[in-house]
Chains A and B, each alone.
Chain A
Amino acid sequence: MKIERFTFTERAVHWMTAISFVYAGLTGLALWSHKLYWIASVFGGGPATRFAHPWAGTVFAVVLGLMFRSWVSSMRLDAQDQVWLRKSLQYAMNDHHGVPDAGRFNAGQKMLFWTQAVAALVLFASGFVLWNPTWMPRAARLIAILVHPAAALVSITGIILHIYMGVFVVPKALHAMVRGEVTPGWARAHHRAWYAGLKGK
């Protein structure tokens, strides 16, 4: 028996977000440090990288907006999540005793969602300012030139953690996001409160 965890639309939106994020992220890293400039050759050289970066960011903005709209109602942090976050270190050491049962998303996933949402807002606003130096006054560009990479670092660090969790730490989590289905045993192990709610229906 299989349980549907993510609909086709959710998965499609997630992976469009992921691909545009990686494209914007790698082209951004190429322009962030001279030592990473070699990445630009993968994307067709410096000018092509500079041209593609804001467009990849625009695609990312649109699909992230869709993802935000479809998941935001499941992402509100409640009292149980506060307890979960206090026990997050214990959770990280694979000791789940006393860690509250997670709903459709656990508190760590919710924190990632909100961190990415805020970082993305900063990235879009500052990215627009930096897109063309003739669009915005110098004062705005001076702020943007600092907060754009700062927000990107927060975002990329969060995504490194996200990929590690989804691919390595939680078995079959990647499968759930690719094919959309999980087993009852998986749902019990990782999102027990969500599973209980489904069963109650």
Chain B
Amino acid sequence: MIVAKLIDTSLCIGCKACEVACQEWNDQEFKPQPEFLGTYQTQPELSHNFWNLIKFNEIEQDNKMVAWNMSKYQCMHCADAGCMKACPAPGAIIRHANGTVDFVHDKCVGCGYCITGCPFDVPRLSPKDNKVYKCTLCSDRTAVGLEPACIKTCPTNCLTFGERDDLLFQAEARAKELQSDGHTSAGVYNPAGVGGTNVLYVLKDASKPEQYGLPKDPTIPWTVSLWKGPLKALGTMALAGGVLGAFFHYLKFGPQQEEAPDED
């Protein structure tokens, strides 16, 4: 059973209770911003000890009024995960049977390739232990039948946890409801470029996910795919070919003559 999180952005009131719950459950210190940044957003982006951020996206509407497009930003738990593809350490990034992408810090070497491979720019390198951290989808809670801490604490039912197929169905129904309420471009954010995500969004305007701080068509970067695909095959052939070529060259032609006679 693949589990997922559904985030109905139309119901988010920006209370940030999920941020607090995430910090508490994962035993992270709270680090206030040293100065006011002109926004209610807790901090500009995710960090190694802050895995769940409510983005207060300020959007100017047609009537010149500014609206907040709240969105919850964290690991998307992609079906085709760029971090997993880029990771050089076997077993450092794993996928649980329920679809959750999790980092195993004992095996993480701290190279940061997952940060480059992630189309959502989610993982963060900790300066303390030089390992990479992100949302675990509370795998330590879901493993024993509990829902993630952010879901548990959400006061508006903006967040739902459950079986992915059920949530997709629910999301589509909610998008239709929003459409009939006049949000004609309401829809579900479940980007196909990464094989779908285990974090699903209902957006009031799904045609412009950027307005919610989400990339429009995220895919695993082509340089990562090329490096881990054809280049790897080509490289193996070049290295093995070089060694084998040298071996057979020696069998066929052998060494050059060591010395030339004195002609003087």
Residue numbers of A with Cβ under 8 A of B are: 30-34, 37, 40, 46-47, 49-51, 92-94, 96, 130, 132-134, 138, 141-143, 145-146, 149-150, 153, 156-157, 160-161, 164, 168-172, 183-186, 188-190, 192
Contact = CB atoms under 8 A, between A and B. Distances in A.
Given A47-B130, A161-B246, A172-B258, A34 B221 contact: no
Contact of A31 (B109, B221, B250): B109
Contacts of A171: 255-258
B145 interface: no
A124 B80 CA distance: 31
Contact of A153 (B92, B117, B234): B234
Nearest to B129: A47
A180 B224 CA distance: 44
B223 interface: yes
A96 B255 CA distance: 13
A141 B256 CA distance: 45
Interface residues of B, number: 46
Contacts of A46: 89, 92, 107-109
7 contacts: A32-B235, A49-B109, A132-B125, A145-B86, A168-B250, A185-B259, A188-B262
A161 B116 CA distance: 33
Given A49-B109, A50-B111, A142-B221, A184 B262 contact: yes
A161 B242 contact: yes
A55 B107 CA distance: 21
B256 A146 contact: no
Contacts of A30: 88
Q: Is the interface of A mostly helix, strand, loop or mixed?
A: helix
Contact of B256 (A32, A150, A164, A189): A189
Chain A CB within 10 Å, residue with most, of B125, B227, B253? B227
Contact of A94 (B108, B254, B258, B263): B254
A154 to B, nearest CB: 8
B135 to A, nearest CB: 18
Nearest to B125: A133
A141 B249 CA distance: 39
Nearest to B121: A138
B223 A32 contact: no
Contacts of B110: 47, 50-51
Contacts of A31: 88-89, 109, 111
A134 B112 CA distance: 9
Contacts of A170: 255-256
Contacts of A138: 116, 121
Contacts of A185: 258-262
Contact of A143 (B88, B108, B223, B249): B223
Nearest to A171: B258
Given A153-B239, A186-B259, A189-B257, A145 B90 contact: no
A133 B115 contact: yes
B231 interface: yes
B37 interface: no
Interface string B232-256: 1011101100110010011001111
Nearest to A129: B116
A161 B223 CA distance: 28
A168 B125 CA distance: 46
Given A153-B235, A164-B246, A184-B262, A37 B256 contact: no
